[in-house]
Amino acid sequence: MSASAGPVDGTVLAPTPGDGIEPLSAPPTFSIVIPAYQAAETIGAALRSALAQTHPAHEIIVVDDGSTDDLDAALAPFADSITLVRKENGGSASARNAGAAVATGDFLAILDADDSYHPRRLETLAHLASARPDLDLITTDARFMAGTEPVGSFLAHNPFATSGQRAAILASCFVGGWPAVRLARLREVGLFDESLAVGHDWDAWLRLILDGSLAGMVDRPYYDYQLSSGGLTSRRIASLWDRVRLLEKARANPELEPGERALLRGSLRNHRSRAVLAEVQESIYGSGRRRRLPRRAACRGIAPRARLAAVLALIAPPLARRLVPDEHPGEHGLAAGAS
């Protein structure tokens, strides 16, 4: 594990730099892109945090993703400080791509409309990018927030890979969902996959890292991610299956090396099994429908426990409850690979 004294007040977690890496003479620029859908109540706080950076953003781009609430009124106080892009509703990946299309900074910095930056986040990223120009993905730790209360951090649940990043990104989204990404490289690999409602961030980072990019993190929680309780179970199941989809898509990536295909098969088995178990939990403890369980029980490439749980949920729910406890991991525990 490579760890060195980090910029500002943190520790840098990153692969050991190669020979000939020279610090930049001037920091790169950052375009903050904020997708906004029905975000009138929260986007003001996000924008205030973006404007309060000790290292100012090159630009702040808000993408109105077909909102029908009073977003215009919420944006009015910031009209002179932002670039506004309007589009039909297409989801977060589509909105991020629309922002990337007009961004002119060196890095695209992700900020969701209900989240916020610590004042020193861009300063920290600028120091890291200047010291390590070989990194295309740069980030900080993130706090998980329940309202105004912190309830954990990303790094506490998702160790950052400082070596073997190609293998690590096949197993989980160890980079998290909120890095700044070198814009030219993101465009080279095809931006965000708009067919993925969830997990398009992991899919993009996976394609970047398999294409040779490196990632680095400063271990300070300078991004606040708001947890939402609304529809958590259904969103969790959809999120888990989207992760399966992006890993299935990765099987066609020409950059995969022979040994990495076995790692990818193992990761797919793990994520399929988690998705099946989540559906079993919802069917025996919640309001989930059982009609999908026969197909899940017959699903190829899942662990025996997941298959048995699906079968028991169909024919003997009391036995299924003995096998699968009524435990739904917190959203922060699932954050690797979530967007």
Distance CA 258, CA 319 (A): 41
Q: List the domain boundaries for the chain.
A: 3-226, 232-334
Rounded-to-10 torsion of CA 180, 227, 236, 91: -50
119 has pLDDT over 90: yes
Distance CA 80, CA 6 (A): 34
DSSP classification of residue 230: T
Q: Confidence band (pLDDT; 50, 70, 90) for 288?
A: low
Mean pLDDT of 204-226: 97
Task: Return the structure tokens found at 178.
Answer: 């909120």
Q: Confidence band (pLDDT; 50, 70, 90) for 230?
A: very low
Whether residue 161 contacts residue 174, with contact meaning beta carbons closer than 8 Å, is answered with yes
Q: Confidence band (pLDDT; 50, 70, 90) for 238?
A: confident
Q: Confidence band (pLDDT; 50, 70, 90) for 7?
A: very low
Mean pLDDT of 140-162: 93
Distance CA 98, CA 34 (A): 10
Predicted pLDDT of residue 3: 43
Q: Confidence band (pLDDT; 50, 70, 90) for 5?
A: very low
Q: Confidence band (pLDDT; 50, 70, 90) for 2?
A: very low
Share the mean pLDDT of the chain. Answer: 90
Mean pLDDT of 287-292: 75
Mean pLDDT of 207-230: 91
Predicted pLDDT of residue 8: 53
Q: Pick from 6-10, 151-155, 213-217, 275-279 the range whose average pLDDT is largest.
A: 213-217
Whether residue 320 contacts residue 312, with contact meaning beta carbons closer than 8 Å, is answered with yes
Mean pLDDT of 45-53: 98
Predicted pLDDT of residue 338: 42
Distance CA 223, CA 118 (A): 6
pTM: 0.90
4 has pLDDT over 60: no
At residue 338, the 3 state secondary structure works out as coil
Predicted pLDDT of residue 286: 79
Q: Confidence band (pLDDT; 50, 70, 90) for 292?
A: confident
- Range 3-226 classified under CATH 3.90.550.10: yes
Predicted pLDDT of residue 189: 97
